[in-house]
Amino acid sequence: MSVFKDFRADLQFLKERYEVSKLVAIFTNRGIHALLCYRIAHCMHRRRVPLFPLILTRIIQVFYSIDIDYKAKLEGGIIIIHGVGLVIGGGAIVKTRTVVYHQVTLGIKGSGQRDGFPTINEGCILCAGAKLFGAIVIGENSIIGANVVVTSNVDKGSLVKMRNNEVKKLKI
């Protein structure tokens, strides 16, 4: 998809889900700003433009504390809610109709090896503070609860939450 086609999909999903005017979102929504800068940086990266992808992503990191690596793959039709503290690593894949809240991390496990990044399938919700590490796959229409750490695959249509200090995976 093109930068602007994906960006229009982001705006449309935001309008459908939260009834936010596209014009208001363009001028005031930090998630939309972050996604637009990411999309331009990712396009430049694919075209092998040096330095500018990094500069664009750093601008959003400084202004909003949202860190989306320009090498990540984010489909059109994503919503970032609040966004502060959000980190999406370079190998992460996020599919359409996904909602991502603040303080979410999509990264490697950090075991000293290149252990991969998460893939988030269509229609997922990543609640505030969720941490997803490694080459894991989150199934379609799943919800990852607040402050949950996930290091293994999640079946489609699941709810992952904390209960008695343990991670529980439930079908919804």
pLDDT (0 to 100) of residue 57: 95
pLDDT (0 to 100) of residue 1: 59
pLDDT (0 to 100) of residue 93: 98
pLDDT (0 to 100) of residue 166: 73
pLDDT (0 to 100) of residue 164: 72
- pTM for the full predicted model: 0.93
Residue 60 CA to residue 55 CA, distance in Å, equals 9
Residue among 92, 135, 90, 132 at smallest CA distance from 115 = 135
pLDDT (0 to 100) of residue 14: 97
Contact status, residue 104 vs residue 86, Cβ threshold 8 Å: yes
List domains and CATH numbers for the chain: 3-171 (2.160.10.10)
Q: Which helix (H) or strand (E) holds 106?
A: strand 105-107
Contact status, residue 138 vs residue 118, Cβ threshold 8 Å: yes
Structure confidence by residue, pLDDT tens digits, 101-121: 999 999 998 776 778 999 999
Task: Output the CA angle 85-93-126, nearest 5 degrees.
Answer: 45
Interstrand relation of 166-171 and 143-144 (parallel, antiparallel or unpaired):
unpaired
Residue 3 CA to residue 20 CA, distance in Å, equals 21
Report mean pLDDT in 10-residue bins for the chain, 172 residues.
Answer: 92 96 96 97 96 96 97 98 97 98 94 85 98 97 96 95 77 76
